[in-house]
């Protein structure tokens, strides 16, 4: 189960990043979908999926399932509210991640997002008093150096303009990077907090916890969606610009969240970082072949290699 969930997470991370970048490249003049709606619909899908699993565990008895939900979620407000902080942070993080991807090329986004290994380590020390060995601190410093290398500006020779499809917006690498840093802070804190919640109370069903989280995430993401895009939704509707690819994105976003929960339960947050760093290799290779706008420089190759080595060093 541990390795299956890690492999699934690697594949999901790679695919969602590539598909997201692809989905934003639309012919000029077309309506682009709103990424805030993807986050909201993914939460709806997670709720349906969690409900399905809880129903199955209740031997498909709707009465039993509803009474479990009442007892565990609706009449146990104190326990449900424990996930309010990670739910709010994840809602913000999921929106910021799409914002960052809008402003960075997929490969740079992936590598910068590895900083979450550092934030996860720091929060593990602060929240669960985890001991980090000297070798691991060295690995974390290497990680930082690698990410800095990757983020050095690409020289002109390595930035090729695509002629087939126009990117529908201007990119701002600095804002993209700041958004990734915020995501890393949220990911580190929420990951450790959620892991602590499920490991402190192993009898608590994982799917009930996921449902609590998804319900609160849905509430928070809906607020964020209306705050950001109310006018656009009022004019062109919730599903403006939705294509088959966008629906796949919604599915992958929901599926990814549920795998994260399984990885944290069966492995831990550090191994989760290892899985995502493998996906750097895949998304770099794929973005190199699929998009004509990015041709990695030497800095990128050296930086990525250092990031991957440091991840292995940290996890081994």
Given 49, 98, 109, 194, the residue binding ligand C5P (CB under 6 A):
194
Given 106, 146, 176, 257, the residue binding ligand C5P (CB under 6 A):
257
Residue 172 three-state SS: coil
* Cβ contact 105:188 at 8 Å: no
From the list 187, 252, 272, the residue with the least C-alpha distance to 6 is: 272
Minimum CB–partner distance for residue 49 and ligand C5P (Å):
10
Q: Which stretch binds ligand C5P (CB under 6 A): 56-64, 149-157, 237-245, 256-264?
A: 256-264
Helix (H) / strand (E) element for 210: namely helix 206-236
- Residue number, 191 or 296, with CB nearest to ligand C5P: 191
Given 106, 146, 176, 191, the residue binding ligand C5P (CB under 6 A):
191
- Residue number, 55 or 91, with CB nearest to ligand C5P: 91
Minimum CB–partner distance for residue 285 and ligand C5P (Å):
21
Biggest CA–CA distance in the chain, Å, is: 65
Helix (H) / strand (E) element for 236: namely helix 206-236
**Does residue 121 bind ligand C5P (CB under 6 A)?**
no
* Cβ contact 192:128 at 8 Å: yes
Minimum CB–partner distance for residue 126 and ligand C5P (Å):
17
* Contact set for ligand C5P, span 75-94 (CB under 6 A): 90, 94
Handedness of CA 123, 128, 133, 134 (dihedral sign): positive
Instruction: Please count the residues of the chain.
Output: 316
Minimum CB–partner distance for residue 187 and ligand C5P (Å):
3
Phi, psi dihedral angles at 164 (to 5 degrees): -75, -50
* Cβ contact 307:147 at 8 Å: yes
d(CA 299, CA 211): 43
**Does residue 187 bind ligand C5P (CB under 6 A)?**
yes
* Contact set for ligand C5P, span 24-53 (CB under 6 A): 46
Helix (H) / strand (E) element for 102: namely helix 84-103
Q: In the 8-state DSSP scheme, what is residue 73?
A: I
- Residue number, 38 or 139, with CB nearest to ligand C5P: 38
Minimum CB–partner distance for residue 315 and ligand C5P (Å):
15
* Contact set for ligand C5P, span 196-215 (CB under 6 A): 210, 213
- Residue number, 136 or 186, with CB nearest to ligand C5P: 186
Given 260, 278, 307, 308, the residue binding ligand C5P (CB under 6 A):
260
Question: How buried is residue 29: exposed, middle or buried, by Cβ count under 10 Å (0-12/13-18/19+)?
Answer: exposed
Q: Which stretch binds ligand C5P (CB under 6 A): 68-76, 153-161, 187-195, 240-248?
A: 187-195
- The residue with its CB nearest to ligand C5P is 257
State the number of CA atoms in the 13 A half-sphere of 115 facing the CB. Answer: 21
Residues binding ligand C5P (CB under 6 A): 46, 90, 94, 187, 191, 194, 210, 213, 217, 256-257, 260-261, 272
């Amino acid at each position: 189960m541990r390795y299956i969930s890690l492999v699934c997470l690697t594949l999901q991370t790679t695919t969602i990043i590539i598909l997201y970048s692809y989905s934003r490249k639309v012919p000029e003049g077309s309506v682009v979908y709103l990424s805030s709606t993807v986050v909201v619909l993914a939460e709806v899908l997670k709720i349906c999926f969690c409900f399905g699993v809880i129903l199955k565990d209740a031997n498909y008895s709707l009465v039993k399932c509803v009474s479990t939900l009442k007892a565990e979620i609706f009449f146990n407000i104190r326990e449900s509210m424990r996930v309010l902080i990670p739910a709010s942070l994840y809602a913000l993080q999921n929106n910021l991640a799409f914002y960052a991807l809008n402003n960075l090329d997929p490969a740079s986004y992936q590598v910068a997002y590895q900083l979450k290994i550092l934030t996860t380590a720091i929060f593990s020390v602060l929240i669960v008093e985890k001991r980090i060995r000297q070798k691991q601190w060295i690995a974390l410093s290497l990680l930082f150096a690698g990410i800095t290398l990757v983020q050095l500006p690409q020289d002109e020779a390595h930035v090729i303009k695509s002629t087939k499809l126009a990117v529908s917006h201007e990119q701002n690498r600095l804002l993209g990077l700041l958004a990734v840093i915020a995501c890393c802070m949220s990911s580190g804190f929420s990951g450790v907090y959620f892991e602590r919640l499920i490991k402190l109370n192993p009898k608590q069903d994982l799917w009930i916890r996921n449902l609590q989280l998804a319900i609160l995430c849905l509430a928070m993401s809906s607020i964020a969606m209306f705050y950001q895009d109310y006018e656009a939704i009022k004019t062109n509707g919730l599903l403006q610009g939705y294509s088959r690819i966008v629906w796949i994105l919604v599915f992958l976003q929901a599926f990814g969240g549920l795998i994260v929960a399984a990885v944290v339960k069966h492995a831990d947050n550090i191994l989760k970082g290892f899985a995502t760093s493998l996906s750097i290799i895949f998304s770099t290779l794929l973005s190199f072949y699929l998009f004509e706008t990015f041709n990695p420089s030497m800095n990128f190759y050296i930086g990525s290699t250092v990031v991957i080595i440091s991840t292995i060093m940290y996890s081994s």
